[in-house]
Amino acid sequence: MSGPGISSSGAWLRAARDLPRDKADTLLLIFSSALVLVPHAAHFPVWITLCAAATLAWRAAITLRGKRLPPLALLLPLSLLAMGGVYASFHTLLGREAGVAMLALLLAFKLLEMHARRDLFVVIFLSFFLLLTSFFYSQSMAAALLMIATVIVLLTAQLSFQYAGAQPPLARRLQLAARIFAMAAPLALLLFVAFPRIQGPLWGLPGDGHGGRTGLSDSMAPGNISNLAQSGETAFRVRFDGPAPAQNTLYWRGIVLGDYDGRTWTRLRGNREGKVNVALRGPKLRYHVTLEPNGGRWLFALDLPARVDGLEHGTYRASPALELSLPEPIDARLRYDASSVADYSLQADASAEQLLAWRALPAGYNPRTLAWGARLAATYKPEAAIQAVLTSFHKDNYSYTLQPPLLGKHAVDEFLFDSKAGFCEHYAGAFVVLMRAMGLPARVVTGYQGGELNPVDGYLTVSQSDAHAWAEVWLPGRGWLRFDPTAAVAPERIESSLARALPPSAPFGSRALGALMDVRPAWLTALRFDWSAVNNAWNQWVLDYNPERQRGVLDELAADFGNLRSLLGAGAVLALLWLALALRRRQHGDRLDLLYGAFCQAQARRGYARAPSEGPHDYAARLAARPLAAEKKAAAARFLAIYAAIKYGVVSPAEKAAALKAMARLITLSR
């Protein structure tokens, strides 16, 4: 015996099937409009999303209950109120955010004002336009797949209003809409590949450059990197020419910080211009970087970068500390080739004057740290003192956490001697202060450490959660050397990942992430890698299909074809294949047209020729007004009705075959 829930759901299905055609078509249009608004919901103020949803629900209720649409006297104040709300939220009615929000509300209100057939198509075309604007917010493959599904539903709604006679079932209409989309796809693909492109992102507007971008900045204070490390966004992807290096060697050099005011580290002003003095030894590791837009100017390369090539536009600059930067912000995905070496000597012959700024400390801060540094300098040689500090970090109950306690004026003192809990920026900053207290030149380097290798496409994905800070210390005869105090406190962070390095007291979300990484089934991991590879291919070949890449693709195609004659020959073969398919598909259509032609010729011989602009319905009406026998008029009317149903309607192959036989008999009867 079925329960009440099952019977009620069955009643809903029966009610949906029994809806009159106009109500069913209107509900389909409302549903397609709702699909159009779904990608925008997360980017609108809450009141706009709720207002649009309530308006669509109101329109659906009017349709189901058969009520009258609201009068213009009500719609006009509502529209003005919505316009005022948009202005209050965005302080303008122009621009991307305000304009799209206004269009969304207008679409919802237009559904309440559909009095004529023309209004239906206004809603459909406005929906198509609004659907395109969703690419302003996301151009991911998931967004594109949702857009394709929505386009097919919109086409189905449009087709539903086009049928003058009997309407095929919804499944058949969806199938026809999908076929129309599939027929247009090859031409769209050809235009995408071959149509001349302009420099810049596929979708964007002026002013899109800096909003909402996530990435490293050119300063560091407690909490900066720990906040960034909680973001799962991709920073860049890397493909190596050979095997990927070990995880603990993946230090992606970014920004070098030397000025310290007691709390915040910034770039050293005198380090921004000058000659790069570096000696590179050993083999070069070559790789290719795809950098995500972040609004900054920094390029990232493995420590130590030797060369950067293949920038699609512009040139880079290298500071004396080997920071790589561009003159303009990175507002679109950027690809470049780079090479690095593991054995190097950076500024080994630097003079005391050049190193003076790297020893500076602000007066009146961190007296306990200064005293510890003085004791270390008096007791140990530089290399031994550095090792003593790292050993202390490892053994003296220091902890690695995303949520360290707040620090006061003497932040380094409180961290080293009281809380002993911090993130990488705490350890790197405190280590550099301690080195300078010993009299050694030292500085902070920020960038990324590690990454996740995808076995499907061979790309290493470096996320914002891999953001990291470490230290460099200058030693006589050896130059600047990298030291990472985080590796002494939490070696799991360097050897594996951030999630596994966090202690039990870390936030639940991060611990849950680490637990999931340990117990994730193999099939789920494989699925995640597959999806990441597909997204990467989408980024590389669709979103980043710029003029340079288009030129390369077309050059490769030209080289593959060899010469123009080969290209023309291939085009001729494709044209012949298309013609053969078209002729095959028209075979049944030719039989129908032959019968129609025979009918028209028979009537012309009787003096009732069809005018060139006359359709079957008008022709039938004219024949009915002529002085013909009743049985001949009936046969002619029946013939033309069957012809119109087959030509412009949807019939099954069996129905079509039977109708063609009937038409042949009716020609004889109508003579």
- Catalytic one among 424, 426, 466, 544? 424
Catalytic residue, chosen from 303, 413, 466, 484, is: 484
24 vs 170: CA distance, rounded Å: 10
CB-count burial class (<10 Å; 0-12, 13-18, 19+) for 106: middle
- Pure H helices in 405-521: 411-413, 424-437, 485-489, 491-495, 498-501, 508-519
What is the pLDDT at residue 527? Answer: 77
**484 has catalytic annotation:** yes
Residue 453 pairs in a beta bridge with 460
pLDDT of res. 54:
92
pLDDT on residue 208:
47
424 counts as catalytic: yes
Q: What is the DSSP string of 337-362?
A: EEEE-SEEEESTT--HHHHGGGG---
- Show Cβ contacts of residue 570 under 8 Å, excluding neighbours closer than 6 positions: 561
> What's the pTM?
0.65
pLDDT score recorded for residue 655? 80
d(CA 640, CA 611): 15
The C-alpha atoms of residue 347 and residue 356 are separated, in whole angstroms, by 14
Which residues of the chain are modeled with pLDDT < 50? Answer: 1-9, 12-13, 206-212, 505-518, 588
Structure tokens of 385?
């003192």
Identify the pLDDT of residue 313: 61
Q: Which residues contact 260 (CB under 8 A, 6 or more apart)?
A: 360, 361, 362, 429, 432, 433
User: Using omega within 30 degrees of 0 as the cis cutoff, is the peptide bond preceding 304 cis?
Assistant: yes
**Alpha-carbon distance values, 16 to 24, 28, 219 (Å):** 8, 11, 61
